[in-house]
Amino acid sequence: MNRPAKLALSTLVTVGIVLTGCSNSSRPPTYPVTGTVTSQGKPVAGAAITFVPTGEGEAASAITDSEGKYALTTWEAGDGARPGEYRVKVSKQEQQAVDPSKLVQNLSIEEEQKIYVESKKPAPPAKRLIPSKFENEQTSGLTHKVEDKPTTFDIKIE
């Protein structure tokens, strides 16, 4: 084999090793889990969903869209969850509105400290928009078994 051919073969082998090392093949397989979160028959947008494994493994999570739909993520967006039994928790808190008239730009360090550091007034607690029992996987009463295939788990908040 001539020198250029050996160099090309060596480069291909090196690239192959690097790509294999960078692949996700060392991760356990995940399977798509999707669903819809509703409360009183209406979709719940912006709810945080977390599937907590009952045994070993990684949790999977998602945020519902404007139609209350979600797709779980373990490692990469929408990749799903590992097979197994899960307890599920759901939470949503009211977003604090920002008063545009109170936004000040180009503050000095001293002005920022006065506003943000020296302020003794605590922020009001965020209002829960879903009953607190659903915020804990132990009390939510929600469970789902992820199988070696895509599954759907719709959540009704009552």
CA dist., res. 56 & res. 46, Å (int): 28
- Looking at the domain assignment, is residue 36 inside a domain? yes
Query: For residue 132, is it within any domain?
Result: yes
The CATH number for 64's domain is 2.60.40.10
Query: In whole numbers, what is the pLDDT of the chain averaged over residues?
Result: 80
Q: How far apart are the first and last CA of the chain?
A: 73
Q: Does residue 134 form part of some domain?
A: yes
| Residue 99: per-residue pLDDT | 54
In a domain, 50, yes or no: yes
Query: Which residue would you say has higher pLDDT here, 104 or 142?
Result: 142
β-strand partners of 87: 52, 143
Identify whether 18 is part of a domain.
Answer: no
> What is the residue range of 55's domain?
28-95+126-158
- DSSP structure class, residue 125: P
Question: Which DSSP symbol is given to 4?
Answer: H
Number of domains, the chain: 1
Amino acid 16: pLDDT: 47
Look at residue 158 in the predicted model and tell me its pLDDT: 84
Average pLDDT rounded to a whole number, residues 2-25: 48
Name the phi and psi angles at 101, rounded to 5. -70, -20
pLDDT, position 5: 45
Q: Left, alpha or beta for 135 (phi > 0: left; psi -120 to 50: alpha)?
A: alpha
Q: Which amino acid type is present at position 88?
A: V
Calpha distance 150→124 (Å, rounded): 41
At residue 67, the pLDDT reads 97
